[in-house]
């Protein structure tokens, strides 16, 4: 069966969103970002995680706070920030599609052996399945870990990056997409629950206002 091309036309609000640089900065990019401080170029840094004003990064062994983001060309204007918490940049890790994480969850829920795994890998899979059952992850998506709350959306990296940005707009400065989980440090379960309720109730106007994330 032949597939027809699908054309998506964005509306008035959509044009306002995609026309602002923050829309593009919210998604992973494999471009190398030029790091600039006081008009002087320090070098370049490959980043494939969301970047936005106020984010802290590490470059040249020092912490820097992003003051502004420009995508054409990709430039991050920064200032020294000795106290900021840097994000985890996994430049060598490819973006993960939601179908992959759905398959991961399916494998964890099953008891079927995976034939191509060696003895060591089979043991690790058994441990992962036991943790999945013991933590009741088939029924819950949130775990508490010391001073952090972990969300397991079982979604792709694009969706999880978007969730990090939404939480940041609600005050979670230390949120990060750590691969399988979205880590929310410094928040308790009640505060995260309230934030998720706010996200569910967002309308188009609220989303436009989020372009001022810094």
Q: Which residues of the chain have pLDDT under 50?
A: 1-3, 21, 24-29, 90-92, 205, 207-214
- Asked if residue 165 lies in contact with residue 28, where contact means CB atoms within 8 angstroms, the answer is no
Q: Which of 156, 150, 64, 62 is nearest to 101 (CA)?
A: 156
Whether residue 5 lies inside any domain: the answer is no
What is the extent of the structural domain holding 123? 98-209
DSSP character at residue 56: E
Looking at the 3D structure of the chain, how many domains does it have? 2
pLDDT for position 148: 84
161 and 195 co-located in one domain: yes
Nearest to 182 by CA among 194, 170, 168, 169: 168
Domain shared by 59 and 117, yes or no: no
The verdict on residue 2 lying in a domain is: no
Contact between 29 and 19 (Cβ < 8 Å): no
**d(Cα 80, Cα 37) in Å, to the nearest integer?**
8
State residue 157's pLDDT score: 85
Q: How far is 23 from 20, CA to CA, in rounded Å? A: 6
Same domain, 147 and 178: yes
Say whether both 72 and 104 belong to one domain: no
Residue 8 is predicted with a pLDDT of: 57
110 lies in some domain: yes
* Predicted TM-score of the model (pTM): 0.59
E-assigned strands of 51-122?
Answer: 56-59, 62-71, 74-80
> How many Å apart are CA 104 and CA 97, to the nearest integer?
11
Q: 102 with 205, same domain?
A: yes
Question: Is 1 inside a domain boundary?
Answer: no
Q: Which two tokens stand for residue 113?
A: 């052996």
Quick one: pLDDT at residue 133? 94
Question: Tokens 């759905």 belong to which residue?
Answer: 102
Residue 48 lies in a domain: yes
β-pairing verdict for 40-46 and 56-59:
unpaired
Q: Check whether residue 24 and residue 126 sit in a common domain.
A: no
Q: For the purposes of burial, counting CB atoms within 10 Å of the CB of 79, is it exposed (0-12), middle (13-18) or buried (19 or more)?
A: exposed
Whether residues 146 and 67 fall in one domain = no
Contacts of 51 (CB under 8 A, 6+ apart): 25, 33, 57, 66, 69, 76
Residues 72 and 105 in one domain: no
The answer on 179 and 131 residing in a single domain is yes
172 and 113: one domain? yes
Indicate whether 194 belongs to any domain. Answer: yes
Q: Are 62 and 157 found together in one domain?
A: no
Q: Is-contact 12 54, C-beta < 8 A?
A: no
Please name the helix (run of DSSP H) or strand (run of DSSP E) that holds residue 25, with its range, or none. Answer: helix 21-25
**Model pLDDT, residue 207:** 44
Question: Six-digit token pair at 77?
Answer: 């204007």
Residue 46 lies in a domain: yes
In a domain, 179, yes or no: yes
Together in a domain, 188 and 143 = yes
């Amino acid at each position: 069966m032949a597939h027809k091309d699908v054309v998506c036309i964005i509306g008035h609000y959509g044009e306002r969103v995609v026309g602002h640089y923050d829309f593009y900065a919210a998604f992973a990019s494999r471009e190398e970002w030029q790091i600039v401080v006081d008009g002087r170029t320090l070098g370049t840094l490959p980043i494939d995680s969301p970047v936005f004003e106020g984010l802290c990064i590490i470059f040249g062994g020092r912490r820097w706070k992003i003051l502004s983001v420009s995508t054409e060309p990709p430039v991050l204007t920064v200032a020294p920030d000795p106290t900021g918490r840097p994000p985890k940049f996994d430049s060598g890790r490819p973006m993960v599609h939601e179908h992959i994480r759905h398959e991961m969850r399916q494998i964890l829920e099953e008891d079927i052996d995976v034939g191509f795994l060696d003895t060591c890998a089979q043991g690790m899979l058994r441990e992962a399945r036991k943790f999945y059952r013991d933590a009741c992850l088939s029924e819950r998506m949130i775990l508490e870990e010391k001073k952090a709350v972990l969300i397991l959306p079982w979604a792709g990296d694009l969706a999880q990056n978007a969730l990090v940005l939404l939480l940041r707009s609600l005050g979670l400065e230390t949120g990060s997409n750590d691969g399988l989980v979205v880590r929310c440090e410094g928040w308790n379960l009640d505060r995260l629950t309230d934030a998720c309720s706010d996200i569910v109730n967002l309308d188009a106007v609220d989303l436009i206002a989020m372009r001022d994330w810094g």
